[in-house]
Amino acid sequence: MKINILTLYPEMFPGSLGYSLAGKALADGKVVLNIVNIRDFATDHYKSVDDTPFGGGAGMVMKPDIVDAALMATYTKGPLYYLSPRGYVFNQDTAKTWATDNQEMTFLCGRFEGVDERVLEKWHIQEISIGDFILSGGEPALITMLDAMIRLIPSVMGNAESAAEESFTDGLLEYPQYTKPQDWQGMTVPEVLTSGHHANIRQWRLEQSRILTKTRRPDLWTKYLANQQ
């Protein structure tokens, strides 16, 4: 999988993606990051990439000609995304779709007050977000998305059951986990987990997932009940 990343801060990559499962996928060549510095396409002596917004207002806006030149030199095929708080919200289903498509993807990381709208219109760029909050730029959000996606690429995660039992996989939050020692500071592991009765363990885990989801994420619980029906 080839991932093109257009950014004003290329030094932010791979960042945390260079470690753990994502780092192994990069080292093994299963994922290739093509980092493109948007500032390389600036045309003036100062390498300017932004200007004041028409209509007034605080902040600066990334110039359409500069961003367009960077896209022209980089984009060839596959989905094209712009990291934006007004985009649709990335979730586990999105991560799974990206991981299984196994194609080239291109991401534009904005800064300042964002990118000139005309670039988004010309390139039919899909806007995507990690939630209803503002970051200083698209790079941290993209690292989060790619970490969620890369670990789901077939053969990246060693134990396939790990992905199958994670939070959100079946619409529920993951059940509590325990390991040795069995008795720690007076707190013991639930007896059912040491019983060796696999059917009872599965039922206990399901009930715990349901309780956690209903209590902590009523929005997910409502969706889960609708899907069950």
**Secondary element (H or E) of residue 37:** strand 32-37
Q: What mean pLDDT is predicted for residues 95-120? A: 93
Place of tokens 């207002």: 57
pLDDT digit string, tens, across residues 174-199: 999 999 999 999 999 999 999 999 99
pLDDT digit string, tens, across residues 3-33: 999 999 999 999 999 999 999 999 999 999 9
pLDDT digit string, tens, across residues 43-87: 999 999 999 999 988 899 999 999 999 999 999 999 999 999 999
Between CA 37 and CA 49 the distance in angstroms is 11
> What SS3 string covers 82-141?
EEEEEEEECCHHHHHHHHHHCCCEEEEECCCCCECHHHHHHHCCEEEECCCCCCCCHHHH
Q: Is 70 exceeded by the pLDDT of residue 164?
A: no
Categorize the per-residue pLDDT at 41 as very low, low, confident or very high, splitting at 50, 70 and 90: very high
Cis upstream peptide for 181 (omega within 30°) = yes
Q: Is 80 exceeded by the pLDDT of residue 166?
A: no
Q: What mean pLDDT is predicted for residues 210-223? A: 94
Farthest-apart Cα atoms in the chain, separation: 72
Angle in degrees, 0-180, between the axes of helices 92-101 and 138-150, rounded to the nearest 10: 70
Q: Which listed CATH number (3.40.640.10, 3.60.150.10, 3.40.1280.10, 3.40.220.10) goes with 2-150?
A: 3.40.1280.10
165-228: CATH architecture: Orthogonal Bundle (1.10)
Q: What pLDDT does 171 receive? A: 87
CATH 1.10.1270.20 in the chain, residue ranges? 165-228
CATH 3.40.1280.10 in the chain, residue ranges? 2-150
Cα 77 to the center of its chain, rounded Å: 20
Q: What pLDDT does 161 receive? A: 47
pLDDT digit string, tens, across residues 117-152: 999 999 999 999 999 999 999 999 999 999 999 999
Q: What mean pLDDT is predicted for residues 153-160? A: 76
Categorize the per-residue pLDDT at 167 as very low, low, confident or very high, splitting at 50, 70 and 90: low
By DSSP bridging, strand 183-184 and strand 105-109 are unpaired
Task: Give me the residues paired with residue 115 across strands.
Answer: 62
By DSSP bridging, strand 50-51 and strand 61-62 are antiparallel
